[in-house]
Chain A
Amino acid sequence: MAKYLIVGGSAAGIGAVEAIREVDQTGSITIISEEPCPQYSRPMISDFVSGKADFHKMKCRTDDFWKENNVEALTGKKATDLNLTEKTVQLESGEKVAYEKLLLATGGKPFVPKMEGSDKDGVFTFTTIKDAQQLTAKIDSINAKAAVVIGAGLIGISVTEALMKRGLKVTMVELQEKILSLLLDAKASDLVEGVVKKAGVDIVTGQSVQKILGKPGNEGVVDGVILTKGNQVPCDLVIVAIGVVPRTELVTGTAVKTNRGIVVDNMMQTNVPDVYASGDVAEAYDFIMDQNRLLPLWPLAVLEGQIAGYNMAGKITTYMGGTNMSSLKYFDIPIVSIGLANPKEDPSLEVLVQNDAERNVYKKLVLKNNVIVGLTFVNCIERAGVFFYLMKNTINVKKFKQKLLSDDFGLATLPVGLQRKMCVVQ
């Protein structure tokens, strides 16, 4: 019997273990993790492919993380069944693990749309270190020259840059009209698109891949793709980088409530007492949208795991929420996007923009009732966190609104009361 059982050993699982051990140093923790290797940073798999990081550099905790935290680690094992009445989780081997408190941190799996030929040799998804290792080995073994990346979001742009750095010709195919459409408005997207194209990447928007072609005489091996409008792109590799869907299999058919992901309250608890969920599998609170939704982002997964851990261990903690927030480093154009990046025309929203084409700098803030609800900074991300603080704490910015986007905006611009609250001055 484990006092705490955690299914999933990545971001949310790590956060939960650290939080539990802060509160309860002795209660037994068991973790079930499919991946046998030490904890590593999944967002860094593109650095692995580009050669910027080896696995050692990707390790985000010590090699003995489980041991140091006195965790019984069932690694390389898969949880297959959950019995809420018995309070047990069954492994593939048939073995059952009983729990007092359970955290579901099963994460997400890559979404692969239906398309002909997606089972061919040379088609990859891009989520785990195994994906990155297999992709890298493939590039070397066939001396790959060209790749098609399906999806121009966070994962798509990261793998595109990595492949380009390895010398491949990359074509990025995006169904939306603009790249990074969840993070950028049209203007910012165009700016970034220009930079990516200049680096030698072909970008096709408003289209998807309808069919993956096989080599003549060797049908099982990728030779190219046919796009929705019929044009053909030759390639050796296809990387499906559209996004992830929550791995909710374990709770299917149980009383645990799901929507697109597992539904949780602001303590990360599901509708079933003692059962918690965090990370990419959970629908946690978005403080900008004021609703629960899927936000499959590493930093939020760690945070949600921490919140679940504290509550499981009896330290009542409320999740203040996250939002759609990402920072990007790719193609040497740093980007931070938080909250509403590209809202529809709405009279209740005020938009402040600074567009400096000469420096390739674009800054945009979206305000609602004088509170910042959206931020996009391209190529000038300094102090983005100050704005995130103002957003998260719903600070009314009316008095210093006109200074927000000026180059000398800083903590000194904030009202004295707020400076004191933040403890930046005495």
Chain B
Amino acid sequence: MKKIIAKQEVCMGCGLCEVYCIVQHSKSKDIIKAYNSEHPKPISRVRLEVNKPVSFAIQCRHCEDAPCVTACLSGAMQKDEKTGLVTYNQEKCIGCWTCIMVCPYGAIIMDQQGKVVAKCDLCQDIEEPACVANCPNQALVFKEVKP
């Protein structure tokens, strides 16, 4: 499947990945509205990890053998066998945080209201994930990787 790979050596730590993730997951898909008039403000599912001078962005790795899927209490977190995506159903999620406890990447977060989880969905509605498409230095690439 295609996954997002971070190239740490060219990441400038600008944080635009987070900005465009927020916009893509907003209701309006508009940067100004997403930041100023949507309440609660959408949250980024990609996180810029910084330990100067090192920085890189991290999001759900869509693991082959995903610990969050095995651990999920409600059946909300699932592995789509066809696409390889690790999907989560917010309707079924009960916010027990078991997935947060077992995700090695810290890539699962509480959503803005703290009741259910959120994470990267590889932007299913657009061709290339927003963080990749808007990275000014191509520090994020979306490419086919072996499982």
| Given A411-B58, A413-B51, A327-B74 contact (CB < 8 Å) | no
Does A58 interact with chain B (Cβ within 8 Å)? yes
| Minimum distance in angstroms from B46 CB to a CB of chain A | 12
Asked whether, in the complex, the Cβ of A382 is within 8 Å of the Cβ of B56, the reply is: no
B71 touching A299 by the CB < 8 A rule? yes
The answer to whether B33 has its CB under 8 Å from any CB of chain A is no
- Per-position 1/0 for B1-28, Cβ under 8 A of A: 0000111100000000000000000000
Chain B residue contacts of A53, Cβ below 8 A? 94
Q: Which of A385-415 contact B (CB under 8 A)?
A: 385-386, 388-389, 408, 410-413
- Indicate whether A382 sits within 8 Å of B73 (C-beta atoms), given known contacts A412-B56, A424-B6, A424-B58: no
Chain B residues within an 8 Å CB radius of A136: none
CB-nearest residue of chain A to B8: A425
Q: For the complex, count residues of A whose C-beta is within 8 A of B.
A: 45
Q: In whole angstroms, what is the CA distance A419 to B54 when docked?
A: 12
Contact A336 B101 (CB under 8 A): yes
Chain B residues bordering chain A, tally (CB within 8 A): 39
Residue among B47, B71, B108, B109 with the highest chain A CB neighbour number at 10 A = B71
The interface residues of chain A lying within 8 Å CB-to-CB of B75 are 41, 59-61
Complex CA–CA separation, A326 to B97 (angstroms)? 9
The docked-state distance in angstroms from the alpha carbon of A47 to that of B51 is 40
B92 sits at the interface (CB 8 A): yes
Using Cβ atoms and an 8 Å threshold, which residues of chain B touch A303? Answer: 70-71
Give chain A nearest CB distance to B58 CB in angstroms: 6
Q: Please tell me if the beta carbons of B106 and A298 are within 8 angstroms of each other in the complex.
A: no
Asked if B55 CB lies within 8 Å of chain A CBs, one says: yes
Residues in B whose Cβ lies below 8 Å from that of A385: 67, 99-106, 108
Question: With an 8 A cutoff between CB atoms, is B129 at the interface?
Answer: no
Task: Provide a sorted-by-A list of 6 A–B residue pairs whose CB atoms are within 8 angstroms.
Answer: A43-B73, A43-B96, A334-B97, A385-B67, A413-B51, A424-B61
Instruction: Give me the interface of A with B, judged by CB distance under 8 Å.
Output: 15, 41, 43-44, 47, 52-53, 57-61, 298-299, 302-303, 306, 325-329, 332, 334, 336, 338, 381-386, 388-389, 408, 410-413, 419, 422-426
Beyond A41-B75, A60-B73, 18 additional contacts (C-beta under 8 Å) are A44-B73, A327-B100, A328-B97, A329-B94, A336-B97, A336-B100, A381-B97, A381-B101, A382-B109, A385-B99, A386-B103, A386-B105, A408-B51, A410-B51, A411-B49, A412-B51, A422-B105, A425-B6
